[in-house]
């Protein structure tokens, strides 16, 4: 049985404690390894290693850092199947879904490879007689990332390439539920030629998180996870004087207008609601059909498709959905489904109690479809983070928009319609950070930035893309005057370009 260790300054280490946590294969329910759990001393060591590596790395020309990103891209392409199998073994998602995660991570590496142009500053000649001004963006120093279980490769690679390309060094605290993917990322960087110390990995739980948030040498923290923890990370990190971006939970709605292609809408809901077993912060978990006729027809189309979802382990190439990450998460999801039924929701398809031959101890739950869900129900207000799609019927378009705008979360949303006027109005009026028009999961490509609104995001910057360049650098503006042989004498008024 393998032990997943810290990686500090290029050295694998069991760290300062003897505490470990089991790592499971969700498909079998069997323990596949153990991850060491770090403490403050391990974060201190990782931050020290990153700080030691920072001067040489930040002095490396952006063009050379870009060439290393190109090498990383090549290594990831070569080892994509291995990356996918590693994350599936501990997360449970299907192999095809895992490969999609790798592809999205590659997009961020591609963007990071353009760092010489992304770091371009501005120059203004003669802002005043004989005076020029230019601006530049400089790295912060040591930065850190705290990442979730649901995308154990992609989310760290939303952060690491951008932070390193900007000239920072990095401390990563990945999820302890599926930690092997993080160590594989280190191996990929090492194979690409990145120097020791630019990426350091400390595994662990809350003690490691708190040590990162409090550490005086860590200048910025990126976080992705649940809203309560995101708010905690943001509050504590900011109190310690850090720059913080903390992405939290979601409850993503999709409006289905009466004029929508219902076959297309149903297909979109199947992928967006049940892909990755619903363990996505951009999953569509609430369908909002407009009018009784639209709702009845939509549920009639969805019900047989949800019941027919092929659930299986990642080793089954025909599987469309894998297991839930842990037994506790599965039981929580099942409990929420039952609570929804008690509150009055109608269970159209019930995925509870699913057993697979040969995988009886796996953390399984099948696709679940609930109809007649109402806004006051806990099943609606709570982020389920599982393969559960709720249908909340709306009488008209205004009611649907108000429903979304009134929800505490504002991560992603979508509308399916043939009406361009309705789509345009929706995009402008909706209080959500990422909007899809006939696109069910509007995750921006890497040339744009990812970020929600309201209690789905804390901090001023989105993750990856142009926003990441601003987050991982600080602006410096330099105003220059060279001697001209003309001396004016002391000036006591506020400088101007007059």
Please write down the HEC assignment for all residues of 183-236.
Answer: HHHHHHHHHHCCCCCCEEECCCCHHHHHHHHHCCCEEEEEEECCHHHHHHHHHH
Note the pLDDT of residue 130: 87
For 458, counting Cβ atoms within 10 Å of its Cβ (0-12 exposed, 13-18 middle, 19+ buried), the class is buried
Note the pLDDT of residue 498: 59
For 390, counting Cβ atoms within 10 Å of its Cβ (0-12 exposed, 13-18 middle, 19+ buried), the class is buried
Note the pLDDT of residue 460: 85
Q: Given the structure tokens 């260790």, which residue do they identify?
A: 5
C-alpha distances (whole Å) from 400 to each of 283, 286, 291, 297, 385 are: 18, 11, 10, 18, 22
Chain centre to alpha carbon of residue 129: 49
166 catalytic residue (yes or no):
no
What stretches of 300-360 adopt beta strand conformation (E)? 346-349
**Strand order of the sheet with strand 11-13?**
11-13, 6-8, 199-201, 169-173, 142-146, 218-224, 243-247, 457-458
DSSP state of 320: S
Note the pLDDT of residue 117: 96
Decide if domain 2-248+456-478 falls under CATH 3.40.50.10490: no
List 66, 115, 281, 329, catalytic entry:
281
Note the pLDDT of residue 419: 96
For 396, counting Cβ atoms within 10 Å of its Cβ (0-12 exposed, 13-18 middle, 19+ buried), the class is exposed
Note the pLDDT of residue 487: 64
- For CATH 3.40.605.10, the residue range(s) in the chain are 2-248+456-478
For every one of its 498 residues, what pLDDT tens digit does the chain have, with 9 covering 90 and above? 899 999 999 999 999 999 999 999 999 999 999 999 999 999 999 999 999 999 999 999 999 999 999 999 999 999 999 999 999 999 999 999 999 999 999 999 999 999 999 999 999 999 988 899 999 999 999 999 999 999 999 999 999 999 999 999 999 999 999 999 999 999 999 999 999 999 999 999 999 999 999 999 999 999 999 999 999 999 999 999 999 999 999 999 999 999 999 999 999 999 999 999 999 999 999 999 999 999 999 999 999 999 999 999 999 999 999 999 999 999 999 999 999 999 999 999 999 999 999 999 999 999 999 999 999 999 999 999 999 999 999 999 999 999 999 999 999 999 999 999 999 999 999 999 999 999 999 999 999 999 999 999 999 899 999 999 999 999 999 999 987 766 667 777 777 665
> What is the pTM for the complete model shown?
0.95
Decide if domain 252-437 falls under CATH 3.40.50.720: no
At 25 the three-state DSSP class reads strand
Q: Is residue 134 within 8 Å of 123, Cβ to Cβ?
A: yes
Nearest-angstrom CA–CA distance, 219 and 197? 16
At 415 the three-state DSSP class reads strand
Strands 284-289 and 346-349: unpaired
- For CATH 3.40.309.10, the residue range(s) in the chain are 252-437
Nearest-angstrom CA–CA distance, 183 and 498? 58
DSSP element (H, E) containing 70: helix 62-78
**Strand order of the sheet with strand 284-289?**
346-349, 368-371, 388-391, 284-289, 252-256, 412-416, 434-437
Instruction: Determine phi and psi for 265, rounding to 5 degrees.
Output: -65, -40
Note the pLDDT of residue 486: 62
Question: Residues with Cβ < 8 Å from 272, sequence gap 6 or more?
Answer: 252, 254, 282, 283, 284, 414, 440, 441
Q: Is residue 242 within 8 Å of 220, Cβ to Cβ?
A: yes
Question: Residues with Cβ < 8 Å from 355, sequence gap 6 or more?
Answer: 364
Number of CB atoms found within 10 A of residue 184's CB: 17
At 300 the three-state DSSP class reads helix
């Amino acid at each position: 049985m393998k032990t997943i260790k810290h990686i500090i300054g290029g050295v694998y280490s069991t760290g300062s404690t003897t505490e470990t946590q089991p790592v499971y294969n969700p498909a079998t329910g069997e323990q596949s390894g153990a991850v060491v759990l770090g403490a403050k001393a391990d974060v201190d060591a990782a931050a020290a290693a990153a700080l030691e590596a920072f001067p040489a790395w930040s002095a490396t020309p952006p063009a050379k850092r870009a060439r290393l990103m190109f090498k990383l891209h090549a290594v990831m392409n070569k080892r994509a199947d291995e990356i996918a199998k590693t994350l599936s073994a501990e997360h449970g998602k299907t192999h095809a879904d895992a490969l999609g995660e790798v592809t999205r991570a590659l997009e961020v590496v591609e963007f990071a490879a353009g760092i010489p142009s992304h770091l371009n500053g501005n120059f203004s000649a003669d802002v005043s007689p004989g005076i020029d001004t230019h601006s530049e963006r400089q790295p912060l120093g040591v930065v850190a990332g705290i990442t979730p279980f649901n995308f154990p490769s992609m989310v760290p690679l939303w952060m690491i390439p951008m932070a390193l390309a900007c000239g920072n060094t990095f401390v990563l605290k990945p999820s302890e539920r599926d930690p092997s993917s993080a160590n594989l990322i280190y191996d990929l960087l090492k194979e690409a030629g990145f120097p020791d110390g630019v990426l350091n990995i400390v595994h662990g739980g809350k003690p490691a998180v708190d040590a990162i948030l409090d550490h005086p040498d860590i200048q910025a923290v990126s976080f992705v996870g649940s809203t309560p923890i995101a708010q905690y990370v943001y509050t504590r990190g900011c109190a310690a004087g850090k720059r913080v971006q903390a992405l939290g939970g979601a409850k993503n709605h999709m409006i289905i207008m009466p004029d929508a292609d219902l076959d297309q809408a149903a297909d979109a809901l199947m992928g967006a609601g049940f892909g990755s077993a619903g363990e996505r912060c951009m999953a569509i978990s609430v369908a909002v059909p407009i009018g009784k006729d639209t709702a009845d027809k939509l549920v009639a189309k969805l019900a047989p498709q949800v019941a027919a979802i092929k659930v299986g382990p990642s080793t089954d190439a025909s599987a469309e959905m894998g297991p839930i990450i842990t037994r506790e998460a599965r039981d929580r999801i099942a409990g929420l489904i039952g609570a929804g039924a008690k509150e009055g929701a109608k269970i159209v398809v019930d995925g509870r109690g699913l057993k697979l031959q040969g995988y009886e101890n796996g953390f399984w739950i099948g696709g679940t479809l609930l109809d007649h869900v109402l806004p006051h129900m806990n099943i609606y207000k709570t982020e389920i983070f599982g393969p559960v799609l709720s249908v909340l019927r709306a009488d008209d378009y205004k009611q649907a928009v108000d429903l979304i705008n009134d929800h505490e979360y504002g991560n992603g949303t979508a509308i399916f319609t043939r009406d361009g006027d309705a789509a345009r109005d929706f995009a402008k009026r909706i209080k959500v950070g990422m909007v899809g028009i006939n696109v069910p999961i509007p995750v921006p490509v890497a040339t744009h930035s990812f970020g929600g609104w309201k209690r789905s995001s804390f901090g001023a910057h989105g993750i990856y893309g142009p926003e990441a360049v601003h987050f991982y650098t600080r602006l410096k503006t330099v105003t220059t005057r060279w001697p001209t042989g003309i001396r004016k004498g002391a000036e006591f008024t506020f400088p101007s370009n007059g």
